Structure 1
């Protein structure tokens, strides 16, 4: 699914990082087009929700009572990757002229001519088909919800043209992952309170982070007539907005800990997530945005990894060792 792209270093960030020729070069460009490596942002939370769903299914008989299987895990990963690739592909297609005009993004694959528009469209359509196919393999409910999911993850790319709420739509798009994993494991929406709380945590985390990242494009957005929270509310207002969203993230993680009856490993993981968010807001000041760089971007990838590790330890590893 779509997410903010890291800012440019002295050498453009959107250029491939390794020299490549032939087939390998093409694969590198495709992977860069959809930021395949950034799957790290949403997939761990999706898998964490799947673990919670597995526990619910095997202890309460929710759904078929079987819970997670290796085949379901494969379909979940395929569904998430397909939806995210489709969303990123659509984003690059509809934003190609905007990207070309923005110095930070002008070297992306479409405006730079590294990938043709037709190729990007084919990739997006194929990724959408993979998502719908994987959803169908996970059950009727997942299949019926898949078109709505595609509308949401693709709609994010259009919102900046008429509403500053695009950041919130991006948060919603990535938040669909935990909800989808719950449906995939349980076969329906029963017991959906837990994944709903996790969706709030993921959605507010991503939206708050995207606001911070959008600060670097504030002047461009104003000049191009694009809508964003930085363009609408300024730097200080954006920092307050982002901080408020991340307070909701912390509250949602705390609520999930209590509702799910989680143990100390989850508490440590949730605490680490909150600590990272506090650190991010501490280093980004209204008069100094210089630390919003690639390292800052990558730091957020550790949030989802830390949380997944905490859930895995709490529900799977530590009980097996005791």
Structure 2
């Protein structure tokens, strides 16, 4: 009987992890570590790493749970998303809200265990983590709101380490923010017809798919330039720039996967290529600070 209860609990936990797409933490968490490492100058503080990790897991859980809750009625109408947990009734709205509150609880706990600036910035973080899900209801710039929100993870890592802002933190924030906005635009091309017919705002729905793909390419070029500038501002070494070079190649490959007449590999471009971007920057920055 006890084993059956444990098995049921594990199964339910798996449902919650699927609901919030926990694997997508790989987009933002590595960049929080990149910001932390560039700020540290090679110093390693296990407590800072721990609390940054808890903060990122909490923020990601809260943001994704709220996004699913806020959008579930739209998701139910969209054939691509109708199979998600809330439209199918696999998870109740109150469970999703509790997940979001638990995530905010972890974020709050972490912020107060890092430094005074992270604690003071907590209300700002909560606002953006909550608000960005509503932007698709009134503006095609929703992709940039998402980038602004998730890109803050990189600056958050810097602030967690130093307790202050710096030019490199803003450059890294901008780089990650434009990267996120660019691949979110690519992802939104899948819903072009649905968004136009249901008054859901996105850059592809507003300007068309060819223009959206071109915008994403320019955003990712700007991303690459900003990664270079962030390295210069933080005094990064050769390994960091090797990572930036690899990221440039990955971004080029990502845009080769999709075209106006062939969107069949958007999901591959969205997940595989972008996980490669974040993990490459993490590992090469780690090599860089270890060899200073």
Superposed pair shares fold, TM > 0.5: yes
- Corresponding residue for residue 48 of structure 1: 34
Deviations 1:157-208 (A, max 9, x none): 000000001100111111111111111111222xx11111111110011100
- Corresponding residue for residue 168 of structure 1: 144
- Corresponding residue for residue 221 of structure 2: 247
Distance in 2 between residues matched to 1:182 and 1:296, nearest whole Å:
26
Deviations 1:239-265 (A, max 9, x none): 111111111101101212322332221
Distance in 2 between residues matched to 1:29 and 1:259, nearest whole Å:
43
Distance in 1 between residues matched to 2:269 and 2:215, nearest whole Å:
22
- Corresponding residue for residue 3 of structure 2: none
Matched, 1:209 2:183: yes
Gaps of 5+ in 1: 1-19, 59-66
SS of 1:160's partner is helix
Distance in 1 between residues matched to 2:86 and 2:11, nearest whole Å:
15
Distance in 1 between residues matched to 2:232 and 2:116, nearest whole Å:
31
**Alignment RMSD, CA only?**
1.5
Deviations 1:279-304 (A, max 9, x none): 11122111111121346522210110
Distance in 2 between residues matched to 1:96 and 1:194, nearest whole Å:
38
1:184-263 equivalences under 5 Å are 184-189=160-165, 192-263=166-237
- Corresponding residue for residue 12 of structure 2: 26
Q: Which one of the candidate residues 239, 242, 264 is aligned to 1:265?
A: 239
Counting matched residue pairs gives 287
- Corresponding residue for residue 127 of structure 2: 151
Q: Give 1:156 deviation, angstroms.
A: 1.2
Distance in 2 between residues matched to 1:108 and 1:33, nearest whole Å:
8
Distance in 2 between residues matched to 1:247 and 1:172, nearest whole Å:
17
Gaps of 5+ in 2: 1-5
